[in-house]
Chain A
Amino acid sequence: AAMRRFLGPLLCLLALRLPAGSGAAARGLDVASYRERVRAMFYHAYEHYLESAFPYDELRPLTCDGQDTWGSFSLTLIDALDTLLILGNVSEFQRVVSVLQEGVDFDIDVNASVFETNIRVVGGLLSAHLLSRKAGVEVEAGWPCSGPLLRMAEEAARKLLPAFQTPTGMPYGTVNLLHGVNPGETPVTCTAGIGTFIVEFATLSHLTGDPVFEDVARKALKALWKNRSDIGLVGNHIDVITAKWVAQDAGIGAGVDSYFEYLVKGAILLQDKELMSMFLEYNKAIKNYTKFDDWYLWVQMYKGTVSMPVFQSLEAYWPGLQSLIGDVDNAMRTFLNYYTVWKQFGGLPEFYNIPQGYTVDKREGYPLRPELIESAMYLYRATRDPTLLELGRDAVESIEKISKVDCGFATIKDLRDHRLDNRMESFFLAETIKYLYLLFDPDNFIHNDGSDFDVVVTPYGECVLNAGGYIFNTEAHPIDPAALHCCRKRKEEQWEVEDLMREFYSRKKSKKFTLKRAPDHGEGENVKDPEDASSEKAGEKRNSKKSSHSLLSCPSQSFNSKLAVLGQVFLDNT
């Protein structure tokens, strides 16, 4: 507590440092020209990857060659695939799909990160599969419930399943794609490495009909939930055999980040109250223990004492996540804090010491991460605040001025002097560019608010697809939530709807019957609803539901949000 008191005034000071005026904002950025510049950035990097690095995983921009980093799957190509479509390049998308179908092999003797393979390879292939019809790829009749890219995603995911064979259900961090978990593999995995599967795995289960993926992902999530500390926080690393916390720093950044992200996104994608209630509990604890003046610090997970007063580049996803669940005011306030750090360096250092207002030793790099831009995109959807476009402008200018080299875009090794490193991570094309482009392209199909949609007739019935509401996985691969309702369970629901429609038209005759049936059915639904939760938990949930409101909803925005633009923030009225 003493530490907290000591920090308080310092944090306030930092947050109040005034940046220079915003004349440019008012006159409005030329959004279209920035959009074109982002497009040019993409092709500069993408073409040099194809020319100099393919089929390696990544491009090394200073030496103009390639290297394998996370396996050997031409990772950058898989990761950049859906960005191609978002940029509107249909023909290249089609070409790459056929290249991948022939060229990528997962039967290789390679030790791969379970987490990275899932988010980049499985996620990338799944989203490419779901978007392939939109991209004009000729799909087979069973699409979206079958297809070559889906089979590839499934194959990659199956290679990861051996990692989940632990007493706790939490997966190992690394798996050999050919032999399974290596003997003597370390059982220590980071929290995010355990809780970042539900989006891809549930999608896979819903599309293929094999529940094994969703089941292992849920089991791992629940194991983490069970092992949270008394004050409701989770640490950074855990032993998946003994369930003992190895690193006990709790925060929202590196090592934990996408766990929280996937609780929310899983809840939205699957309309799952249990996942959301988990997140809301964590959110309460995070606000109580780690939040100081709109910054989020690192604390000891059992005691709640501040262990590191730093802001990490990876934490910048948080405002975006908050805006998804309707906490736009807080999101904007935190975002504006983070933006000051960008203005100081032209990028976000991996670690930023908040009281000192400077980078942390050995953590000065900026590998062109997307998180802040991602938040800006989500927040721009919610507020249309020109400040967010300004961040996009700053990002484009910084990345072009600092990290553009002849062969692509190089990681910034040190933000203090802008020295460059010989690496271009695959997320630069998959995420950074994608979010930047989407920020500057408000009419992109990804932003579809439901006014457009496609109707697809499958052998399983008729599906409404591409109606918006895409859920981005943590590597920015969009998943269409409507696709999940297209394959499995589809038939039963359809029959039920048929019955109801028949009653609807003949209600004159069977009026009383209808009257009785509707509530009856409702109760039946209620029992069916929490199918995954234990009965005990279902009871808990119902109590909490009665006390307030549905967990799967956002608060509507307050009156003062009308004026909360151009850096203006309002304090809570309560």
Chain B
Amino acid sequence: MSVCGGPGDAAAPRLRPRAALMARRPELLCGAAIVLGCAFLIALKVTCSRAKDVTMPAKLPVNFFSTRSPVIDLFRGQLDYADQLRQDSEIVLYFFYAPWCGQSIAAREEIEHVASRLSDQVLFVAVNCWWNQGKCRKQKHFFYFPVIHLYHQSFGPIEYKGPMSAVYIEKFVRRVMTPLLYISSRSKLLDFLSNYEPGVVGFFEFNASPQPPGYLTFFTSALHSLKKDYLGTIRFGVVTDKRVAEEISLVHSGSVYLHRHANTSLIYPKDIMNFTAENICKWALENREMLIRWLRPHGGKSLLLNNELKKGPALLIFIPYNPLAEIHPLLDEITKVALEYHKCNKSQAAEACLQHVGDSDSPAFDSSVTDAHLKFSETFPIAKYPCCNTVVLPQWHSISRTHNVCELCVNQTLGVKPNKVHVPHCNFLEIEAALDSFYLQEHTFFQVISNTIECSNFLSFYSPFSYYTACCRTVNRHFLSFISSEKTIFQTPKVAFSSHGKKDSTQFSIPHIEDRNCFIPDLNISSTNITGLSCRTNKTLNLYLLDSNLFWIYAERLGASRSTHLKEFAAIVDLKEEVHYVLDQNQSLVGPTLENFIKNFSVLYSPLTRHLVDDPSVHFQEEHVVTEVTTSTFQQTVFLSAKNVLLLYYAQWCGFCASLNHIFIQLARLLPPDSFTVARIDVTRNDLPWEFMTDRLPTILFFPHQRKGQSVKFPEDFSVNLPNLLKFILHHSSLSSSEPCTKECLHKESVLQQGHISHLEREIQKLRSEISALHQAHDQLEAQLSEARREEQRLQQQKHTLEKQHKTLQLHSEQLQATYDQKNQELLEMAEKLQELADASENLLKENALLRILVASRGGKLQSKDEIEEPLQSEQTLSEDNDISLSTATAALEEKRIDNIDTIETEHSSGNRTE
């Protein structure tokens, strides 16, 4: 038995489940006496094979992590013990796994890696949450494994849903360890705020009390945000120095600030919302600014890309990213580009204006620009700063194909405090409500579209104390007219407002007019700075980052070369137009190239060309009967070659294509290779220019020689087989040779006939091989036939011998019959003799009886003559003598009978044997 052949130590653990099996199934205990080795197995086998339905409980759980691992492995699912352990450490990471789960197994080493780095600060506990006797399985109900939960003291569980890679997990654990970043100085604050990820800063003065009011709430909200925002994009910082806090206009301890780059930053509205951890977190999440977003698909079914890419064209930037790294120079550079791209709002726009003035060489613009700037600087200090958001009107509005940009502001009648860094106090609820009502009213703006700024005020749904201002301008290429900055106050009809229910005529009467004269016309886009481009173009890009360590496959799908060692790639994907553009991979991915890429996309007649993904796996060295065409060889093989080309569009996965392979191979072998090419292209791996795309597969196109432009399609309702294909080719290629015969034609004819000859030669070859195949078949048959003949002969011989045997057997049986008869005869004789004997004995018996009667009668006579005649006594003794001799005779007779039976029996047994 091979099962027993293993070494002793290997056999030992194997016995364990069997022991368990025995314990739980008492009927198997009969085998338990012999516990070791093969004998045990055999015993088990015997008992089992008798039982009808044998089942076996699941194997007992074993260690999932090695015993030396820093991870505590509760492989029996002892959740209660896990909870006890939690008391010992401030930070605990639970790794709930199922031992059979591939993902758990893959994540195991990642967790071990993190554990080895953080084991002194974090307690790592792995719990088998599958073992059905364990507490964990009984209490928790997971739909997938592994599940990672983190606890910060009593706060938790915080589920980690990010990528199962050590660096990401470690980063997250570190965030849970220190959810708040302590910002000690101005420079640190600037660092903190300049990051591309949104930052929330709380100001708490620790001078007054060791635990300033609200600090704990703020701390908890930082932890809370990790629950919601598992990618941890919002960072939380705390400022304790009043002077530092003033930089961001925080005066009171306990105020919270959300920094935004492109739009105005916000201060948490304590007076409107309760200061709770959940609220702060929600507020930050809803108001954060997403200039550039990380995309991290979690691997399960999701609509992430669908939702993001359907918002409009997207720039996907792939960079290798290590979350643990201290600095990310490439990321910073990209962030800079993104910030510039999104800089639409006033203060920054003003900067842009200044820059532009400096850059501009054109004297024609000088005056107006300066003028605009002057105007702007005038209005700047006195402008009552509302809370504003820039809105780019959706592209789907078809009335005008111009750039429509709106500045949406909330004007509050209370609590507006201008401050040093010009950060107004905004309420996210209001901005949202404003957006809602703005979109509802949208149509009113589009009734008049001109090169003007149109502003409108409308009331908020929710608050009677505020109104919104929307200033929209239709921006078009003839921007010069705009420079003159006509201002028209566009008043929405009152009817429209009545639907809002709350009407405040005093507010309504004060229109808020904003000017943005610094909007520099984009006449010469190629020289235009990227600054604020997102608001000036109708092809606004959404920017996304992807970690190429995790999601390089998307880059490959978009045409990134597989051979590159540097995993950097950028592509613009426009889902609606079904095109994508790729930043040349030979250029390094730095700020200026990205800027150019974006600019080139944004201009009206974009110099970018649709990228066609090519299949790199096709090697040219390989010569196939059917030529494999790719994107890059398409032109050359199909159009530039001097042959007739039959092109099959196919896909490997399409069942209808794959089953035609043999037909095209046959066709290619049949047609003369010097004037015909049979080719095919896998259109799932090779993009083609629009005019050569097909919507169904397989599609067969024929490009006749000399008329490559006039390709013909094989009619779909004919079945694809060799004769039909030949007819199709024949029909369409014959048209070409209608011109009168010249020398060239003669030459062609000769070439053709040469081809014919070679074809016929091939045919002959084929026929020869066919003949040889037939010969083979013939030989095979012959062999079979001779085999059969031999078989017949053999059978005949066998028949003969059988007959002989039959004869001898017959003879034998005759002999047996004869002996049987003889024996029978003897028996009969014996029986006769016995009969005789029986008769004789009967006679004797009769005689005996007669004698007795005689004796009796004599006796009677004697009695009567007793007293008279004494001498008669001698005669009596004589008769007694006679009696004795009689009894001896019967005894002899008996003996003979027994003898007889014996002989019959022996005869019987011998008869059996002969039968």
Name A's B-contacting residues (CB within 8 A). Answer: 15-27, 51, 60, 62-65, 140-142, 264-265, 268-269, 271, 323-326, 328, 333, 336-337, 340, 343-344, 346, 357, 378, 381-382, 386-387, 390, 393-394, 396-398, 401-402, 405-407, 410, 413, 416-422, 449-451, 453, 457-459, 461-462, 464-465, 467-469, 471, 481-482, 485, 493, 496-498, 500-501, 503-508, 511, 514-515, 517-519, 521-522, 525-526, 529, 542, 545-546, 549-550, 552-563, 565-571
Contacts and interface: CB of A to CB of B under 8 A. Distances in A.
B659 A471 contact: yes
Interface string B427-446: 00000000000000000000
Nearest to A505: B756
A319 to B, nearest CB: 12
A63 B45 contact: yes
A469 B145 contact: no
A518 B132 contact: no
Interface stretch (B191-199, B384-392, B647-655): B647-655
B727 A500 contact: yes
Contacts of A521: 723-724, 727
Interface stretch (B395-403, B448-456, B620-628): B620-628
A61 B289 CA distance: 61
B798 to A, nearest CB: 22
B421 interface: no
A505 B664 CA distance: 20
Given A402-B58, A451-B624, 18 more contacts: A20-B161, A23-B163, A65-B49, A343-B145, A397-B102, A419-B58, A450-B662, A465-B662, A467-B661, A501-B670, A505-B752, A549-B696, A549-B716, A550-B716, A554-B655, A556-B697, A559-B579, A560-B309
A22 B302 CA distance: 13
A507 to B, nearest CB: 5
B68 interface: no
Contacts of B698: 553
Nearest to B230: A21
A227 B434 CA distance: 61
Contacts of A20: 103, 107, 144-148, 161, 164, 298-299
B99 interface: yes
17 contacts: A21-B298, A26-B551, A62-B56, A271-B719, A343-B143, A343-B145, A344-B144, A398-B101, A419-B58, A459-B773, A471-B659, A507-B737, A508-B749, A521-B724, A545-B717, A566-B553, A568-B305
A568 B107 contact: no
A381 B658 CA distance: 12
A64 B41 CA distance: 10
B550 interface: yes
A522 B773 contact: no
Contact of B723 (A449, A493, A549): A493
A49 B887 CA distance: 82
A500 B723 contact: yes
Contact of A25 (B299, B626, B663): B299
Interface in B110-161: 110, 130, 132, 142-148, 161
A485 B551 CA distance: 45
Given A397-B101, A508-B737, A324 B55 contact: no
Nearest to A448: B661
Q: Which among A386, A462, A546, A562 has the greatest number of chain B C-beta atoms within 10 A?
A: A562
B718 A526 contact: yes
Contacts of A420: 55-58
B659 A269 contact: yes
Contacts of B628: 451
B864 interface: no
Nearest to A508: B749
Nearest to A521: B727
B97 to A, nearest CB: 11
B301 A15 contact: yes
B462 interface: no
Interface string B162-182: 111100100000000000000
B362 interface: no
A65 to B, nearest CB: 6
A540 to B, nearest CB: 13
Contact of B14 (A406, A493, A545): A406
Nearest to B670: A501
A494 to B, nearest CB: 9
Given A63-B48, A457-B772, A550-B696, A500 B730 contact: yes
A396 B753 CA distance: 60
Contacts of B145: 20, 343
A420 B722 CA distance: 54
Contacts of B347: none
Nearest to B48: A63
Interface of B: 2-3, 14, 41, 45, 48-49, 53-59, 98-103, 105-107, 110, 130, 132, 142-148, 161-165, 168, 296-306, 309, 549-554, 557-558, 573, 575, 578-580, 613, 622, 624-626, 628, 649, 651-666, 669-670, 680, 682-684, 693-699, 715-724, 726-728, 730-731, 734, 737-738, 741, 749, 752-753, 755-756, 759, 763, 766, 769-770, 772-774, 776-777, 779-780
Given A63-B45, A393-B102, A497-B726, A563 B162 contact: no
B721 A419 contact: no
A554 B143 contact: no
A117 B721 CA distance: 33
Contacts of A381: 652-653
Contact of A568 (B132, B302, B649, B660): B302
B770 A459 contact: yes
Given A18-B298, A553-B656, A453 B662 contact: yes
A268 B659 contact: yes
Contacts of B98: 346
A481 B656 CA distance: 11
A387 B103 CA distance: 11
Contact of A22 (B163, B558, B724, B753): B163
Contacts of B2: 51
Contacts of A140: 777, 780
A451 B622 contact: yes
A563 B110 contact: no
Nearest to B306: A570
B143 A357 contact: yes
Q: Which among A343, A382, A511 has the greatest number of chain B C-beta atoms within 10 A?
A: A343
B773 A458 contact: yes
Contact of B613 (A343, A405, A562): A562
A568 B304 contact: yes
Contact of A326 (B54, B550, B697, B766): B697
Given A459-B774, A464-B666, A501-B726, A21 B299 contact: yes
Given A63-B45, A518-B727, A563-B557, A268 B655 contact: yes
B22 to A, nearest CB: 14
Contacts of A518: 727-728, 730-731
Contacts of A419: 55-58
Contacts of A482: 661-662
A94 to B, nearest CB: 19
Closest 6 CB pairs of A and B: A22-B299, A469-B658, A450-B661, A382-B653, A518-B731, A482-B662
Given A550-B716, A568-B305, A382 B684 contact: yes
Contact of A562 (B558, B660, B756, B777): B558
Contacts of B662: 450, 453, 464-465, 467, 469, 481-482, 485
Given A457-B770, A569-B302, A501 B661 contact: no
A401 B734 contact: no
Contact of B776 (A141, A340, A402): A141
B695 A556 contact: yes
A193 B105 CA distance: 41
B766 A462 contact: yes
A571 B53 CA distance: 49
B371 to A, nearest CB: 47
B581 to A, nearest CB: 13
Nearest to A565: B553
